[in-house]
Amino acid sequence: MELVSYKTMPEWTRTSIPLMLLDRHNTKEGTYAQMKVLQGTMTFVVFNDDGSEISVDCDSVHQPPLIQPQQWHKIDKASDDVRCQLSFLCVPEDKLFKENDLSLPHSEVRYMSTFTQPCKVLDLGAGRGRNSFYLASQGYDVTALDINASHIDAIETVKAKTGLVVKSGLYDINEASLTEKYDIIISTVVLMFCQRERIEAIIRNMQECTNNNGINVIVCPVETPNSDPSEIPFKTFLRQGELADYYKDWEVIKYNENPGHLHKTDANGDRVGLNFATLIARKK
């Protein structure tokens, strides 16, 4: 697999190694990490999924292993004369997102792009623009709307840095007041932050603003038995089957309600699990 470096940290000594690297921690989704020992020795620990440890003694000849995405690891020991440097890597297609501190585009948006052509897209609840910039980089005409002004500012910053064209603006999804028509409307992991009583109106408004033969992509948590409310940063869930019912008159390309994970982690550092409804549908 080809990997490219997108960030290299300054050279560290024994006393300047960040303390967080001495504790158990993990890399982000899509992020590989490579520590390079320039001088001295280091003991590097990698944690397996079952909690067991692999301890590796490293020096300038025997380097630490490449850390995989979301793999737990730590520096256990380092000699007084150690000099080391950490690099972060990713696959080439993710470099845009890693360089700009964006989450990776949602997998369903990537999938949707495999069977659609560049057209007019609305990213509803765009956040900092991970899906918007992915589609813009593929040639789509993208509008990104979000209620958070800091998210829109972040989008503008990435636009200026990359030269990618994305129209952006502030919008409260709860208003359900869209009037412009689009070929594709996407809303991934957004509806759970909206008012529960406005969900139907929001979805009907999305449908009304979708051109004939246009696509809607929605991913949203559904009511999940045995979930811990104290670990979940929102209160709105769809009922099981509710999203499918809203789209019963559309051509449903994909629908499921499967277990998934939030980016938020629990007290053990594991991502919080919930069931998610995933819908990709075409307007007849």
Domains held by the chain: number: 2
- Are residues 153 and 240 located together in one domain of the fold? yes
Higher model confidence: residue 51 or residue 221?
A: 221
Tokens for 213?
Answer: 């033969």
- Are residues 121 and 80 located together in one domain of the fold? no
Tokens for 206?
Answer: 């999305």
User: Domain ends where: 93, 112, 130?
Assistant: 93
For residue 181, give the CATH number of its domain: 3.40.50.150
pLDDT digits (tens, 9 = 90+) for 140-195: 999 999 999 999 999 999 999 999 999 999 999 999 999 999 999 999 999 999 99
User: What distance, in Å, lies between the first and last C-alpha atoms of the chain?
Assistant: 41
- Are residues 124 and 159 located together in one domain of the fold? yes
Q: Is the separation of the CB atoms in 4 and 95 below 8 Å?
A: yes
Residue type, 136: A
What pTM does this model have? 0.88
For residue 17, give the CATH number of its domain: 2.60.120.10
pLDDT of residue 152: 98
pLDDT digits (tens, 9 = 90+) for 37-78: 999 999 999 999 898 999 999 999 999 999 999 999 999 999
Residue type, 129: G
Other residues' Cβ atoms within 10 Å of the Cβ of residue 195: 14
- Are residues 201 and 224 located together in one domain of the fold? yes
- Are residues 144 and 257 located together in one domain of the fold? yes
Query: Which residue has tokens 């470099």?
Result: 95
User: Domain ends where: 61, 93, 125?
Assistant: 93
Q: How far is it, in rounded angstroms, from Cα 182 to Cα 121?
A: 6
E strand map for 172-238: 182-188, 210-221
User: Domain ends where: 93, 122, 145?
Assistant: 93
- Are residues 67 and 139 located together in one domain of the fold? no
Task: Name the residue range of residue 234's domain.
Answer: 100-282
- Are residues 27 and 78 located together in one domain of the fold? yes
- Are residues 89 and 116 located together in one domain of the fold? no
Pick left, alpha or beta for residue 30 (phi over 0 → left; psi -120 to 50 → alpha; otherwise beta): left
- Are residues 115 and 74 located together in one domain of the fold? no
Burial category of 280 from C-beta neighbours within 10 Å (exposed 0-12, middle 13-18, buried 19 and up): buried
- Are residues 115 and 210 located together in one domain of the fold? yes
- Are residues 113 and 234 located together in one domain of the fold? yes
- Are residues 50 and 140 located together in one domain of the fold? no
